[in-house]
Structure 1
């Protein structure tokens, strides 16, 4: 097939145009690296990685697109993808869009009922399913999916599972063969489909994982997603010579937007969504860019602290000293850069930092692969103390901000002007303003057209002049840097009339306590604040073993009085820096960590506050049994 040339220096009309323009510009350059399917289950040391050039990728994408056409898929028809992040996800997504159709994203962890709701609500006519487990969900809810006709499996068994009547099941390889044959007969089929795509056309329906209620399908256009590429490159987040490690779920807009950026610049993307392989993959891939959610950076920090503790008292003291130096160095150089335009620190601090680098920081950078230029954090707030720690270590974490409703990032910190504690300044062509009640409003080419089949809810968040009401509270400084205060719906008032931003308190505690995994601050219409705290098993169990609890289970450890006293010291440390009405008066250690499987976390690891408060209502009530403030 012919390519569809469009200048990649300008905003293309669609992601499909952007993709084939990249192929035309650099056909022989490496595009993607991914673990070979034949060895997905072996040990990391034996893992093999394969490579696709842009030209090779385009041939497979065109075959997928043409294959979908043979199934009767046409412009703006919805096609689902229910899979972990992997190379086939990207091929399927690009193939869907190059056929003129639109992708419906489904997290692989989504249960059968909600999977059926998403596929039915979107009107999906076909779905790419990762394996038999995903197919089984579809078969189990077949009667709820009258419009679904085809399932394409990434990982197929030796013999295909007998599907429900009227459901055509085939493998990805079969679909590509059908597509290649179709292109032999109709070589212009995909070209013509791409040429017909307009910028305002539906590209993707992403269903918000939602911390409350049913997920909503967010209508994202081709121009909005394509703009993400130019915006990321224009903000110097990514360069053409980068190697980016992508493990984030592609069902989330954050990862989806990163693909647009990668296509725009043409850099290499190493793709492997297996979270348990992140640590093993980093020294193999040696990325220069990696995006993650704050929970990953918290786990890395806590893991480093736990290892230092396990190595003995002397090494733990060295780590704590080095961590303090890192934070002080980052704060000092940042303040100097803002004031004078040049990052500098006193000689004594520079000497301490240099020594700490040899003893501690260099090893941390090596664990990230040794050449990480930018780490990008989004989806939830990153505690400033963690931001200063990593900046001082030499792993620059650029916090950004965006929503599904903005096609990904809208605001982000720049490497040359990082301001920790903020989410940076707007990406090119985006605008931000703060409403009278403190709510953040955004406007730009990435803003959604609305929620699918929900005109009333769309009207609630989209103003007539194009602004999106984000539901977040924030403030802008004189230089245009945005700081997120809290979710508007999470902000609560105590019975004493004082407002509390729970994420501020939670972030401070996560930064102070190396044993915490999740924390939920409670206090709405109560006369004081309390907290539910879940500990990080990997961090607390070694401590417990050193303190006479080597044979105790996790559930036994969290009920131990010594552990409670340990956490109490961190609670008091955090309370010392808070206003009186923000302080945590009582806390309860949960018997297990919060997780996606129990519905307490979204797939992007955000806490579903109503679910947690409902499930642990008795524990919360017990903390308020005495109505007098402690």
Structure 2
């Protein structure tokens, strides 16, 4: 395993070293009183210490609870989470921030001196572990089934986070599907970029341990700087991971684009593996940032502009769309030998996908990844887990004649006008992004007066040509649409603000539509006021 710190420092551990360190931490956890069945929180930046804590807790039969927490959280905030969720302990990979500023020598309201932590809270950076296990009163924690493996939280794009109770058998099934479909071997190196509080990243880690592959953990801020040097073989991430090369191709001048045009012609003449190596050489100036060993690139979790996948595949870079959810695991794959741009792929083995009359996708599987919800989200469980292995996804889609599943958006995002017209804003958004390569993203929403407004993110809002291109497209599109589907007002924003820190992206790098409505639309268009 390789870990790159935020500062760029590289740390490497082999499996014997990891095993030794995990066993040592298990001994320290036992001495601290941790025992099988305990719910134990883990939070902080990705690090080797998080991996050790997660594996050691699983080894003891504890249930790790992955917590996403603000950077400035202090010991009291961590203790409050322990109270809220009935946790026997909370571990952090970052030393907690000191309590609020106070006059020297004063400790009002029973506050602890700086450097001391409340009972049940410990920093994994301090070894041997200094932990006083919390006694959790009966009834303060949920009763979990025997197959409970770990607890994760959703990203909160629906307005509230859900606590997902992951199944040991379901996670093992997801790992098996991945290893077989991706043909993993000991020569592979899986890339992890997003936070471990996102369950998909930890499942990739478990897959590497289970099947003996390497794994590289890189902060998102360092990804494009380090991948050429680290050279992973399997890269899995949201569409934003792959935007830079596609955008650079789109903005290149005629002379710079010549290798791309040659690769495009070669792709049309020799689309298979035979011409891929030459196309990859032609595209190295754009896709070489991911390293020289990548053999599989997978993207999903948000709408994928078809042009992005098309650019990569023409340049011999193996980028494919996939579809899954934390509740179910993998649902559909595009893979070498069977793929179609603009689709989520064909259903994976052991999963049946049905599309209801209203277009909503329902999945049936005997081994779902999630057993249900705990903490937050319990009230919605019966509407999602229907019984008999059926799970409602909340996604809209359809199958084409070849059996490829095409996603059309989220059901909860559908807008119903006063006259009863149903509008899928994601179809409008994807159409704009497809027509205007310089657009990073778009969100459409009602303006409160029966009309649609949209916010469009571009690299430079002062780029008059780019703005004019978008306005011209919208004007032309409006002329072809019925009145309910026309965009009446457009706001342009710089793509640099689309970050987790700005609050417009979730920690899974998805656009937070609620945050956009609250902030961008309310500030610029009056929507939400």
| Cα distance, 1:291 vs structure 2 | 0.8
Structure 2: runs of 5+ lacking an equivalent: 101-112, 132-143
Aligned to 1:60, what secondary structure does the other structure show? helix
* SS state at 2:327 partner: helix
Equivalent position of 2:234 in the other structure: 289
Q: In the alignment, what sits opposite 2:16?
A: 55
SS at match of 1:507: helix
Unaligned runs of 5+ in 1: 1-31, 141-159, 179-197, 335-342, 541-557, 625-630
Give me the whole-angstrom Cα distance separating, in 2, the residues matched to 1:478 and 1:199.
41
Stretch moving more, 104-113 or 225-234: 104-113
- RMSD in angstroms over aligned alpha carbons? 3.6
Counterpart of 1:315 (choices 255, 266, 278) is: 255
Native 8 Å contact 2:446 2:527 kept in 1: no
Give yes or no for the alignment of 1:206 onto 2:206: no
Say if 1:50 and 1:410 are closer, same or farther in 2 by CA, change over 3 A: same
User: Paired residue for 1:301?
Assistant: 246
Q: Which residue of 2 aligns with 1:548?
A: none
C-alpha spacing 1:315/1:117, structure 2 compared with 1 (3 Å): farther
Is 1:400 paired with 2:303?
Answer: no
2:509 is the alignment partner of 1:586: no
Tell me the distance in 2 between the aligned counterparts of 1:390 and 1:381.
16
Tell me if structure 2 keeps the 8 A contact 1:104–1:206: yes
Look up the match of 2:91.
128
| In structure 2, C-alpha distance between the alignment counterparts of 1:415 and 1:428, rounded to whole Å | 16
Change over 3 Å in CA distance of 1:257–1:430 after alignment to 2: farther
Alpha-carbon distance in 2 for matches of 1:260, 1:574: 47
- The alignment status of 1:270 with 2:216, answered yes or no, reads yes
- Pick one of 439, 447, 467 that aligns with 2:360: 439
Pick closer, same or farther for the CA change 1:526–1:248 going to 2, 3 Å. same
> CA distance change for structure 1 residues 460 and 331 in 2, over 3 Å: closer, same or farther?
farther
User: Is the 2:300–2:322 Cα contact (8 Å) retained in structure 1?
Assistant: yes
Is 1:423 the counterpart of 2:307? The answer is no
Q: Given that residues 68 and 175 in structure 1 are in contact (C-alpha distance below 8 angstroms), is that contact kept between their aligned partners in structure 2?
A: no
Q: What is the aligned partner in structure 2 of residue 73 from structure 1?
A: 34
- Secondary structure of the 2:149 match is strand
Within the candidate set 485, 497, 510, 1:606 is matched to 510
Q: Which has the higher helix share?
A: 1
Match for 1:568 among 471, 475, 483? 471
Residue 607 of structure 1: CA displacement? Answer: 1.9
The answer (yes or no) to whether the contact 1:520–1:532 under 8 Å persists in 2 is yes
Secondary structure at the residue paired with 2:514?
Answer: helix
Once the two structures are TM-superposed, the CA of residue 201 in structure 1 deviates from its matched residue by 2.5
1:237 positional shift: 5.3
- In structure 1, the residue matched to 2:137 is none
State the Cα distance separating 1:252 from its structure 2 match.
0.9
Matches within 5 A, 1:78-477: 78-109=39-70, 112=73, 119-132=82-95, 135-136=96-97, 161-166=114-119, 169=122, 171-172=124-125, 174-175=127-128, 200-236=146-182, 238-272=184-218, 274-306=219-251, 308=252, 313-316=253-256, 318=258, 321=261, 326=264, 343=272, 360-406=282-328, 408-444=329-365, 445-453=367-375, 455-477=378-400
Say whether residues 1:597 and 2:501 are aligned partners: yes
Taking the aligned partners of 1:581 and 1:332, their CA distance within structure 2 comes to 43
**1:151: which partner in 2?**
none
1:575 and 1:333 mapped to 2: Cα distance?
Answer: 39
The CA deviation at 1:285 is 1.2
Q: TM-score normalised to the size of structure 2?
A: 0.82
C-alpha distance 418-321 of structure 1, shift in aligned 2 (>3 A)? same
Between the aligned partners of 1:466 and 1:524, the Cα distance in structure 2 is 40
Secondary structure at the aligned position of 2:182 is classed as: coil
- Superimposed CA distance per residue, residues 413-452 of structure 1 (whole angstroms, 9 cap, x where no aligned partner): 2222122211122333333222232211123313422110
CA contact (8 A) 1:291 1:377 kept: yes
> Does the C-alpha gap of structure 1 residues 354 and 371 become closer, same or farther in structure 2, counting only changes over 3 Å?
closer
Deviation track 1:351-391 (CA, whole Å, cap 9, x = no partner) reads xx999766x41323422212211011122121122111111
Superposition deviation, residue 593 in structure 1: 2.1
Q: Distance in 2 between matches of 1:86 and 1:419?
A: 37
